[in-house]
A and B are shown apart, each in its own frame.
Chain A
């Protein structure tokens, strides 16, 4: 069975890039959860898809039997030689190396640091809104949501914000190009690292107050970080910080455009937004992670082989009726919401506080500016495929 032949049996031949999965994975997860809670495929060199919250969290916590050496599922598996850093530390690192590599980043993404970025993020959202004023129909994904995380992370890292198109190209290549031939993927990755090497060289010459200079001046285990590590971590921050937040902003606006009652309530009760946001994150969680099986094991009766991929669809965990009451309803004042949108365990999204700030500010500014809006053409909405799900085309009519 080759890549991209349409899937007929989701239990034995799943493919997360299949058109049906991209358009609506929820029904597929629901069916699997009751019929075959850990699905299998021979595609991508062998992979598994758990859909129950219990199994997804068990695997996320089990860093012994499941390694993070590769976290994006494709034909490519990161070589052992890159351990313990892995391809993009710390997301690709396992314990014990992981902890130190992650600790370097956490202060820059802690709530206190993120607070400092709120005013500039808000100003930028207003700038984007101003560019949309007067239009009858706007693309909220392309004209609004996608730009916000690019600008924020470019400024944090200290790379030119004018290179936004380039970053989005990189991200698209890494996350959505998983079905491309291996050579093409390798060339795309080389282009990313060439670009970042030039940025690092420039920061070595001209240190400044940004995250690249901070990483270049950082030490791990008493030694300065090598440029290889710095480049890989920057690549991670660019890639992980853009598509994901763009998706969360877009999916929230998509929901509000299609649910006038929720939209009107949030306009009338803006203090509800933090609670509503958690519900959007639960119901439309953008990110599915992946692991590799370290050695042959039996997982709940599934014979997992060394180097099989395992997808961790946190959005499926968030829709599991064993873990959530009325999981398929979006309840914007849901008070008890232990969702796993940012993952579980030691790899909890390091940028989650930043993502929440961007999502909140993006929605606040949009709702203040455009309190009345609707989907201009529901059939024209296009969702991204692969492991990050969000609207990539989102025509909205401003009323």
Chain B
């Protein structure tokens, strides 16, 4: 599983890096950025899905999950 943020949709609510800081971190403006290449370790798959389900802008995409 991999996660990706659609930069066009992200408005910097920060729910993703609040819920799953191992997978997402804020940039200097508070927008979410994926850590590394976005690969999700199996034990973080639940957190990844929660980040997707809590993003108010629906800006997070899961690929191959």
Contact = CB atoms under 8 A, between A and B. Distances in A.
Determine chain A's interface SS by DSSP, over half rule: helix
B29 A110 contact: yes
A27 interface: no
Contact of B12 (A278, A335, A348, A356): A348
B53 interface: yes
Interface in A305-348: 335-340, 342, 344-346, 348
B51 to A, nearest CB: 11
Contacts of A336: 50, 53-54
9 nearest CB pairs, A to B: A110-B30, A348-B11, A106-B29, A336-B53, A111-B26, A107-B28, A338-B56, A338-B54, A340-B56
A345 B11 CA distance: 6
Nearest to A345: B11
Contacts of B18: 274
Interface of A: 103, 106-107, 109-112, 274, 278, 335-340, 342, 344-346, 348, 352-353, 356
Interface in B12-28: 12-15, 17-18, 26-28
A106 B54 contact: no
B26 A110 contact: yes
Nearest to A114: B30
A282 B26 CA distance: 22
Given A111-B14, A352-B13, A344 B57 contact: yes
Interface residues of B, number: 19
B35 interface: no
B11 A335 contact: no
A355 to B, nearest CB: 11
Given A111-B14, A352-B13, A338 B30 contact: no
Nearest to A344: B56
A353 B30 contact: yes
Given A103-B29, A111-B30, A344-B57, 20 more contacts: A107-B29, A110-B26, A110-B27, A111-B26, A112-B26, A112-B28, A274-B18, A278-B15, A335-B53, A336-B53, A337-B54, A338-B56, A339-B56, A342-B13, A344-B56, A346-B11, A348-B11, A352-B12, A352-B13, A352-B14
A107 B28 CA distance: 6
A109 B53 contact: no
B55 interface: yes
B30 A109 contact: yes
18 contacts: A103-B29, A106-B12, A106-B28, A110-B12, A110-B30, A111-B26, A112-B28, A274-B18, A335-B50, A337-B54, A338-B53, A338-B55, A339-B56, A340-B56, A342-B13, A342-B56, A353-B14, A353-B30
